[in-house]
Amino acid sequence: IALTDYKNRFGSKHFDIPYRSGMDKKVLKSFFNKWNIDIEFVQFSELINNLTNYSKEDFFIYTSSEDINYYYKSFIEDVVCYLELMNYKVIPSYKYLKCNNNKVFMELLMLGLSSITPTLSTKVFGCLEESHNIINTFEYPLVVKSSAGASSTGVFKANNNKQFINAVKKVSSTKSLKNDIHDLLRYFRHKAYQKESLYRNKYIVQNMIPKLNNDWKIYYFYDKVFIFYRPILKKNGFKASGGGYDNYLYGENAPKPEGIFDFAKKIFMNFNVPHASLDIAWDGKNFYLIEIQFVYFGTAGIPYSNGYYMEIDNKWTYVKEKLSIEEVYANSIIDYIKQ
């Protein structure tokens, strides 16, 4: 059962037609049918309001959403979480959906990787005031990230306490004239009342890897690995993401240090998922996982690549084969279910 949003969209696809329409459902269905697997597309609301019509023997795959303020994504999370609590077979697990456009939870999930790979020094906060207590312990430069957002939006560099506070205010502001006036009135009416923070959007603080010229994005679709190289352009400051897909190098044309695929595999195998998108940096000595997504991530690296890597006889081999996102996605789900 493939769960679609209220526009009947499923998944993310670069070069989709019409724009922002997701994967081609007819094409996707054909690749599942090729392996004698039947697929039914159902909207989230239709499913959850008629759940008795569906079997716990079925597998449930689903889309996410990047609607403004993530209102509909919140509904998707409710449905997927409930299905999992009721022991329906949800792929991937709800916790991986919660990572989607939620960098705070993503960082918390990544804490478990510290035993297998070097990790960035990361702190998470729920409001500006929470960081005041330890601001004098920070070592600059730092990167401040909003929890939501993609393509390097909501990401700022701070070289000192003043820049840090300004960056946090940008990513965490929750100012609302109506609500703030009501809260101010409570402050005057009630003795010892503490006003709400004006900066309550959660955010992340990380140490900065010095002198980076690029990073890599790797898509893992079960056993197929797509890679592209993202240079840091002057216009983007210190950020590689958001540089424009025509400025990246893909597949066998992407410069890559020895060991990057082994590093990505070690990360991917730590999670019980059919596919993932990994942002990886290298300081000349160590690899670092910058971000990881499991659901509804960008797929530009597939149409821009003329092939993918696979580990064959303990060696990473480039397979020159042009595939669609629908075929890559379907095969990853099928292989995952078989496993």
pLDDT digit string, tens, across residues 3-23: 999 999 999 999 999 999 999
> Would you place residue 87 in the very low, low, confident or very high pLDDT band (cuts 50, 70, 90)?
very high
- Please report, for residues 95, 159, 278, the alpha-carbon distance to residue 293 in angstroms, rounded to integers and kept in the order given: 11, 28, 7
**Whole-number pLDDT of residue 42:** 98
Radius of gyration in angstroms for the set of CA atoms belonging to the chain, rounded to a whole number: 22
- What's the CA gap between 310 and 324, in Å, rounded? 17
Answer whether residue 235 shows pLDDT above 70: no
Residue 315 has pLDDT above 90, yes or no: yes
Output the pLDDT for position 239: 65
Other CB atoms within a 10 A radius of the CB of residue 168 amount to 26
Q: Tokens standing for 126?
A: 């729920």
Q: What is the mean pLDDT of the chain?
A: 93
- Judged against a pLDDT cut of 70, whether residue 221 lies above it is answered with yes
Write the pLDDT tens digit of every residue in 166-204: 999 999 999 999 998 999 999 999 999 999 999 999 999
Using alpha carbons only, give the angle 111, 147, 93 rounded to the nearest 5 degrees.
55
The CA distance from 293 to 52, in Å, is: 31
Share of the chain above pLDDT 70, in %: 96
The type of residue at 180 is D
Q: Decide if 31 contacts 333 (C-beta within 8 A).
A: no
312, 338 Cβ separation under 8 angstroms: no
> Where does residue 65 rank: exposed (0-12), middle (13-18), buried (19+ CB within 10 A)?
buried
Is pLDDT of 152 > 70? no
Say how far apart CA 205 and CA 200 lie, in whole Å.
15
Give the model's pLDDT for residue 12.
Answer: 95
Q: Give me the pLDDT at residue 60, please.
A: 98
Section 278-295 average pLDDT = 94
- State the Cα–Cα distance between residues 200 and 118, nearest whole angstrom: 30
Cα–Cα nearest to 243, from 252, 232, 227? 232
So what's the pLDDT on residue 150?
Answer: 66
Residue 70 has pLDDT above 70, yes or no: yes
Cβ-in-10-Å burial (0-12, 13-18, 19+) of 165 comes to middle
Q: Does the pLDDT of residue 116 top 90, yes or no?
A: no
Mean pLDDT of 95-107: 95
